[in-house]
Each structure stands twice: as C-alpha cells, then as structure tokens.
Amino acid sequence: MKALLQAFDQSDWQEMTVMIGGDRLHVSRLGSSDGPPPPSAPQPAGAVPPPAPEAAPPPSAPAASAPPVSAASAGSNGAIEIPPGTQITAPSVGLFWRAPSPGAPPFVEVGSPVAAGETVAIVEVMKLMSHVTAPVSGTVSAVLAENGQAVEFGQVLVVVDAEA
C-alpha cells in the first residue's frame, strides 16, 4: 500500500477517471499531499479540492502503513460481532472507504436510512472504485470496517435493518 500510494503521490496525475459499470467517476487533485498518505478517494463528476487527510472519518488505522501479517486466516470479520440484519459484503479485496472523498461526509452512519441501490461505501481495488450498494431499504445498524481499512472479499462491511 505504501508503495502504491508512493507511486500515486509521485505521479503527476491531476485527474483520474474510472468507469465502474455504468457509473463514471472522476477525480482531480491539486497541490501536494501531506500527513498520512491520502487515500486516493474518488469523487463523482467534476474537480474537487485536494483531499484533507484528517477529514476521513474515523482517522484511526492509516491505510497506508503495511498492516502486520496476522496468522489468522481472515476471510470473515474475525472477532467482530455482527448484529442481525441484511449483511452487505465486500465485492473484492481492497480498501474500504466510507466517504466519496476524504473531505466529504460518509455515505452512511449507524442510524442512517438507506434506500435499496444507494451507495453505502466504496471498495477500492488498485484505483478502481467499486460502489457498494444496499440491496434493501432500511436503517444502517452497523458499519464494521474502518475507513481506509484493507478488506477481503466477502467481509461484512455494513449491516442494514431492512424495513418491515
């Protein structure tokens, strides 16, 4: 990850456009990054200001530091308790982002109402941004990964209490 972000930092890209399914994502950035390496988070359509690292909620667990290898074969959410409800899982290995860009508010918080098809998070696979959408309408009852965290395919990211 460090290497990836270094490569990203060291590139002279000012804009990046990514196609996902029918969605077109476009990122533009200005100026240099600072602090913990910024996630290369996308922004729908149009140029945005440079990402402010501290804006990415929550600020813990910087994604750029190589996570220590753990003996645990991850695959699931490990010791985290998953509340009942409709589970939304990661469609791929990648980085988990709660917001469309580091400066932006998160897609959802616990308690947020969501509509079926609405984006609840992004999983980034080598600069390719996958929107993770709610399969049902309801209320978010848990967000189980931290912003910028590495996630595996199948890992539960968000739980939604479906409407009755």
Partner 1 sequence: MLRRVLIANRGEIAVRIARACHAEGLEAVLAVSDADRGSLGAQLADRAICIGPAPATESYLDIDRLLAAATVTGCDALHPGYGFVSERPELPEACAEAGVTFVGPSAAAMRRSGDKATARAAARALGIPIGDGSDLLASAREAREVADQLGYPVLLKAAAGGGGRGMRRVQGPGEMPAVFTAAAAEAQQAFGDGRLFMERFVTSARHVEVQVLADGQGKVIHLGHRDCTLQRRYQKLVEEAPADGLAPGIGDDVLDAATRLIGSMDYQGAATCEFLVDAERATSAFLEINARLQVEHPVSEMVTGVDVVREQLRIAGGAPLSVTQADVAPAGHAIEARINAESPSRGFMPAPGTLERWVQPSGPGVRVDTACFPGWTITPYYDSLLAKVIVHARDRLEALERLRGALGDLHVAGVPTTAGFVMDVLAHPDVRSGRVHTRWLEETFVPSWSPRVAA
Count helices and strands in the chain by DSSP H and E runs: 1, 10
- Closer CB to partner 1, 60 or 164, in the complex: 60
Is residue 20 a contact point for partner 1 (CB under 8 A)?
A: no
Return the residue of 12, 21, 73, 111 that touches partner 1, per CB under 8 A: 73
- Closer CB to partner 1, 8 or 107, in the complex: 8
How far is 120 from 100, CA to CA, in rounded Å? 10
Return the residue of 33, 86, 92, 112 that touches partner 1, per CB under 8 A: 92
- Contact string 108-137 vs partner 1 (x = CB under 8 A): ----------------xxx-x---------
Residue type, 3: A
Identify which range of 33-41, 44-52, 68-76, 108-116 contacts partner 1 by CB under 8 A.
68-76
Footprint of partner 1 on 22-61 (CB under 8 A): none
Using CA atoms, how far residue 140 sits from 52, 83, 164, in Å, is 26, 11, 14
How far is 36 from 63, CA to CA, in rounded Å? 9
CB of 1 to partner 1, least distance (A): 5
How far is 40 from 99, CA to CA, in rounded Å? 11
In contact, 142 and 85? CB cutoff 8 Å = yes
How far is 138 from 120, CA to CA, in rounded Å? 12
Return the residue of 3, 30, 79, 164 that touches partner 1, per CB under 8 A: 3
Site size for partner 1 (CB under 8 A)? 32
Identify which range of 42-50, 52-60, 88-96, 110-118 contacts partner 1 by CB under 8 A.
88-96
**Strand partners of residue 134:** none
How far is 120 from 112, CA to CA, in rounded Å? 10
Q: Applying CB under 8 A, which residues contact partner 1?
A: 1-4, 6-7, 63, 65-75, 91-95, 124-126, 128, 150, 152-155
